Chain A
């Protein structure tokens, strides 16, 4: 093909829709012709605009971010090596110290955790592997804790009390939210300890009675718990909230006993 004929195909090439003999000819021509390459780049830039035609998703699952951050934590890429596709190795005694570019409190927490892990590393290697996974979970929690402290300093924050039911008469909780926003947190006390196959689940309830899950959480051995979550729409569109007991991992809708409830 001549340069003119090649250029006739560059828009389709940029779309990724060229195939067959056309694709082979254009690809081999571009390898040798700088002018057509420049033209191809211009075509690609126009095509790149199409990415903006797709609207952003109105909502994403509350736990997607948690999954991303947890997966990032589970990466054990050696620090000094240039990026390669090497899979994570079994951890040995020389593991990576946490970066001190973290905020001081988080760096200190990471250091404390890291010292604890180093002590463990002197013993069985299997124990180190299990501990590394716990660190990952703790670090995700510390990120969520930061989100919660950020929320608690937001202007327009309101507090809502959640009352106990007969199922757990001593439990109490406070919810903090900004009504025009989507982030909220729950701070609970004196929740009964649940067996390992159960967990607590928070529900947001709108005026029509529809329940939307705000997330699954567990109580600590002292009965306290906290949860920070992102609602799918502004919290002012919900009328009430409740906490029920569900199977570990949660349910699509409330199935178990309600332990806490309150208006928003």
Chain B
């Protein structure tokens, strides 16, 4: 049976039947994205791949941990990977910090994006949309989003890291997310991830 026409969500159902072909295909579709988001957090290919291995094996063991009612599979999988990567980052550094000035790092990756030839169109469309939205943010707002989302930092940790008052950081985070939502909506994207 050719699984290529099956959706991710259908493949996860097959995973519950311990179908290895389904696991193999989900891996082929998403491994590079899982490693990619882990790289954004950990900045280390080998550790990012360890996270990817954990994530796919956990998916195999507990396919029921993905609930299709709460949104599409890809964002959920990336969220699991990001949390795992942040856990790993926190276990290594008592106080998370970046080598490069944060915000610069995300800008760098925004510049050299290249969609893979087999990337699904809807994924590529969302990546273009969110990256365009992020490019439109002032650097200071992009920076706090990166520290929170990819660095796993709390508002207080960000304030301490940047030597800014907590209130300033909260306002910056809030403004950044408002701008992001407006830009996504203006780009025609439903915020109900289909």
Contact = CB atoms under 8 A, between A and B. Distances in A.
Interface of A: 8-9, 11-12, 14-20, 22, 42-43, 45-61, 64-65, 67-69, 71-73, 75, 77, 79, 83, 99, 101-103, 139, 143
Instruction: Identify which of A11, A51, A67 gathers the most chain B CB atoms within 10 Å of its CB.
Output: A51
Interface in B179-193: 180-181, 184, 189, 191-193
A12 B174 contact: yes
B121 interface: no
B23 A55 contact: no
Instruction: Identify which of A68, A83, A99 gathers the most chain B CB atoms within 10 Å of its CB.
Output: A68
B49 A58 contact: no
A3 B40 CA distance: 34
B52 A60 contact: yes
B27 A56 contact: no
Contacts of B19: 99, 101-102
A68 B32 contact: no
Given A17-B155, A68-B53, A68-B57, 8 more contacts: A8-B174, A9-B170, A12-B177, A17-B158, A19-B155, A50-B130, A56-B36, A57-B39
Given A45-B192, A60-B32, A71-B57, A16 B49 contact: no
Nearest to B150: A54
B79 interface: yes
Given A54-B37, A57-B32, A64 B52 contact: yes
Given A45-B191, A48-B71, A49-B180, A56 B153 contact: no
A217 to B, nearest CB: 20
B75 A55 contact: no
Contacts of B126: 49, 52
Nearest to A142: B20
Contacts of B145: 15, 50
B156 A139 contact: no
Interface in B72-89: 75, 78-79, 82
Nearest to B61: A75
Contacts of A79: 18
Given A11-B177, A19-B156, A65 B48 contact: no
A198 to B, nearest CB: 25
Nearest to B175: A11
Q: How large is the interface on B (under 10, 10 to 19, 20 to 34, 35 or more residues)?
A: 35 or more
A16 B64 contact: no
A46 B27 contact: no
B113 interface: yes
A17 B119 contact: no
Given A51-B37, A51-B78, A57-B45, A64 B53 contact: yes
Contacts of A48: 71, 75, 79, 193
Contact of A53 (B49, B106, B193): B106
B44 to A, nearest CB: 12
B133 to A, nearest CB: 8
A103 B2 CA distance: 10
6 contacts: A11-B173, A14-B177, A51-B37, A52-B78, A53-B106, A83-B62
Nearest to A43: B177
A119 B108 CA distance: 59
B27 A65 contact: yes
A15 B172 CA distance: 13
A60 B127 CA distance: 20
Contacts of A18: 154-155
Contact of B64 (A8, A61, A83, A139): A83
B114 A68 contact: no
Given A69-B20, A83-B62, A17 B173 contact: yes
B32 to A, nearest CB: 4
B113 A68 contact: no
A11 B179 CA distance: 11
Interface string B79-113: 10010000000000000000000000010011011
